[in-house]
Amino acid sequence: MDIGVLLRALWPYLAALYVLDCVLLVRGGLLLFTGTPAGGFRLKGAGLRLAGLLPWSWSVLSLKDPLVLSENGLYVRSATLHEDPRPHRPGDFEHIPFDEVRSVGRNGQKIIMNGKAVCQAPSGMAAAYLVQKIKEFLAAPAWQRSLIVKAFMEEAHDPDMARAALDRARELTPKLAWASFVMMVLLGLVLPMSIIFPSSPSWLWVLMGVILAVYLLVLALWWRTHRVLWPREVNDRVEELLVLLFFPVSAMHILGKLTRRLLVNFDSTVVSAVLASEEAKGLLKRECLRMRITMGSGWEPDLQKIWEARLALLENLAGKVGVEPRHLELWNRGAQEGQGTVCPMCLATYREGIEECADCSVLLMPKEALVQIVGTGC
């Protein structure tokens, strides 16, 4: 068998698979951060996006939780509303009291309660994390649950903990990045050598052997890194290893896959502030405003506490990233100050007669009413 002919025939398909494996579908309401050559991160919107194209590239996907934990039970938001950016409303949630929960577990991304799937988390790791927290609530006496809620929210909104998780991953991944890079370079030599030395296939067999050895090294380093980052996620680790064994192209840009859900334990606004602080300022302003509007909707007392606590945490975060929450700027897209209506989500200003934001699909409101709702807060 002429290995050179075989490699020349396979090469276009390998290149296509390499690029295809980097394509990620980002749904509405989710945030994708991709690494830049300078070492920072860039925020990308919804749609088909390239993530982790180079062996040293990172990508982090920030996902909103499908449920809210309170001291009196769980509030599950429907899947269709999970990606909706508008302010929360009481009718969006289904309440499940803790005393009605007899069993809780997960099946992949699905959270199973009393033998029935109640919602789907954005990832298996997020589902495992939420199930663990729910079990902590169930095991705790009722008088302790308010303290657990407070600790849970503070952890999810702690930028210092998020940075520590990011730094920990950066300490563990340099060897893996180098091994993945060497594997890509070696594969890049396969086609030129098969053309330059068409009559010397032994060279190619040696090169293929070296590539195989580096590939096994990548798998070993990946297994060690994954085990340190997520020691409890044995099933996910085995599943991902099987994917790598049957689709080794992924090993050439493995950092993106390894770190994509690195910060699943943290609120998406906090993740944006830690990874892309300049772009996060607008997101943070909008989220503060969203919570202000949400709080005025006549909630149950325990959920009202959740929204108030989250707004306070976001305001504290705003100060840490250089946003002054008391100076909300109403963004203006061509309309005169004081005229027209405003989208409560993106703060775009529209002329009179338009009822719905073209970008956010939410009802507009008078600018004066928006300023009244916001008051002197963010």
* Residues 64 and 29: beta-carbon distance below 8 Å: yes
**Averaged pLDDT for residues 239-261:** 89
Q: How far apart are CA 323 and CA 285, in angstroms?
A: 8
When pLDDT is cut at 50, 70 and 90, the band that residue 6 belongs to is confident
Residue 224 has pLDDT above 70, yes or no: yes
Q: Which of 38-47, 267-276, 309-318, 368-377 has the lowest mean pLDDT?
A: 368-377
* Residues 226 and 173: beta-carbon distance below 8 Å: no
What is the predicted pLDDT for the residue at 336? 41
What is the predicted pLDDT for the residue at 79? 60
Q: How far apart are CA 119 and CA 72, in angstroms?
A: 18
pLDDT tens column, 91-131? 788 888 888 888 898 888 888 888 888 887 767 778 888 88
pTM for this model (two decimals): 0.79
Tokens of residue 76, six digits: 């599950």
Give the rounded distance of the alpha carbon of 65 from its chain centre: 10
Residue 198 has pLDDT above 90, yes or no: no
Tell me the β-bridge partners of 107: 110
Residue whose C-alpha is closest to residue 262's, from 67, 157, 125: 125
**Averaged pLDDT for residues 164-169:** 92
Q: Give the N- to C-terminal CA distance of the chain in Å, as an integer.
A: 70
Report CA dihedral (346, 352, 353, 355) to the nearest 10 degrees: 20
What is the predicted pLDDT for the residue at 265? 83
User: Mean pLDDT: which of 44-48, 122-126, 130-134, 358-362 is highest?
Assistant: 130-134
Residue 17 CB partners (closer than 8 Å, separation 6+)? 247, 249
pLDDT tens column, 307-357? 889 888 888 888 777 766 554 444 444 334 445 677 766 667 777 777 777
What is the predicted pLDDT for the residue at 164? 93
Q: How far apart are CA 287 and CA 85, in angstroms?
A: 9
Ramachandran angles phi, psi of 113, nearest 5°: -130, 125
Give the position of tokens 């007669």: 353
AA letter at 105: G
What is the predicted pLDDT for the residue at 350? 78
What is the predicted pLDDT for the residue at 277? 66
Residue 68 has pLDDT above 80, yes or no: yes
* Residues 175 and 157: beta-carbon distance below 8 Å: no
Q: What percent of the chain has pLDDT over 90?
A: 13
Q: How far apart are CA 372 and CA 189, in angstroms?
A: 65
Tokens of residue 141, six digits: 């006496």
Residue whose C-alpha is closest to residue 351's, from 340, 337, 362: 340
